[in-house]
Amino acid sequence: MSSELKVKTMAECLANNEIPEILFWVGCAGSFDDRAKKITKAVVKILNAAQVKYAVLGTEESCTGDPAKRAGNEFLFQMMAMQNIAVLNGYEVKKIVTACPHCYNTLKNEYPELGGKYEVIHHSELINSLLKEGRIVIKDGGDFKGKKITFHDPCYLGRANDVYEAPREMLQKLDAQLVEMKRCRQNGFCCGAGGAQMFKEAEKGNKEVNVERSEEALSLLPKVIATGCPFCNTMMTDGVKHFNKENEVLVLDVAEMIARAADL
């Protein structure tokens, strides 16, 4: 990472007697997937520009256990969760932000019964509040002014946790034309990666889920398909490539769009 993207770890903060307001939970995709790393960098740029006091766990962060739990291995999930909770509680973490709805849902709804009680927010909620407070300023919508954008609701953000408005309010700040797919919000349609499906081969059928969803998005003739989840990003990107539209339609995370429009 370049110097402008310098991010402190919780261990460094503790050594300097600093207490971050927020822990940025990067997640496996945001740490290791080359495409999702760009989303992580966009979030970091926004947090730095807004002068948010935050830190990451770095090498002390491990998988939340979401894929193990969704795949039916409750024992492995609890082992992973307990390890993370020990680290988080050791640092007395109070508030967590993450760009991954899978991590968000697991940390928020499944860690409390194992002793991990934190205020957990999605990056779209935090960035939306930073925009409202004027801590991030967008100039005339930037590259996205007047362009047609459709937002794909991640299942673990929308239907599982009722977060629908924050990402849309962010996108409306871009002075773009926000159009909705037929299946959106409470009636949203999965990208095909949820429930640990990301990590297994497709089952028998006549159509991939991500192809169905991408076809629905492309029927609106958007310039950008906006997402709020690294898994959704992968699936929608693959779907756009399936229809050979990758030179016409961008698939971007909402954080990337705000970072670009704010010229960060």
Residue-wise pLDDT tens digits, 15-72: 999 999 999 999 999 999 999 999 999 999 999 999 999 999 999 999 999 999 999 9
Q: Please report, for the chain, the start and end positions of each structural domain, with discontinuous segments joined by +.
A: 3-127, 138-261
- Whether residue 239 is predicted with pLDDT greater than 80 in this model: the reply is yes
- Whether residue 257 is predicted with pLDDT greater than 70 in this model: the reply is yes
Helix (H) or strand (E) holding 22: strand 22-25
- Whether residue 203 is predicted with pLDDT greater than 90 in this model: the reply is no
DSSP state of 9: B
How many other CB atoms are found less than 10 A from the CB of residue 87? 15
Helix (H) or strand (E) holding 179: strand 177-179
Q: How would residue 2 be classed by pLDDT, with cut points 50, 70 and 90?
A: very low
Do the domains 3-127 and 138-261 sit in the same CATH topology, yes or no?
Answer: yes
Mean of the per-residue pLDDT values of the chain: 92
Could you say which of 3.30.360, 3.40.50, 3.10.450, 2.60.40 is the CATH number of the domain covering 138-261? 3.40.50
- Whether residue 198 is predicted with pLDDT greater than 50 in this model: the reply is yes
Residues 6+ apart with CB under 8 A from 84: 61, 62, 64, 65, 111, 116
Helix (H) or strand (E) holding 52: none
Q: Under CATH, which architecture does the 3-127 domain have?
A: 3-Layer(aba) Sandwich (3.40)
Model pTM score? 0.92
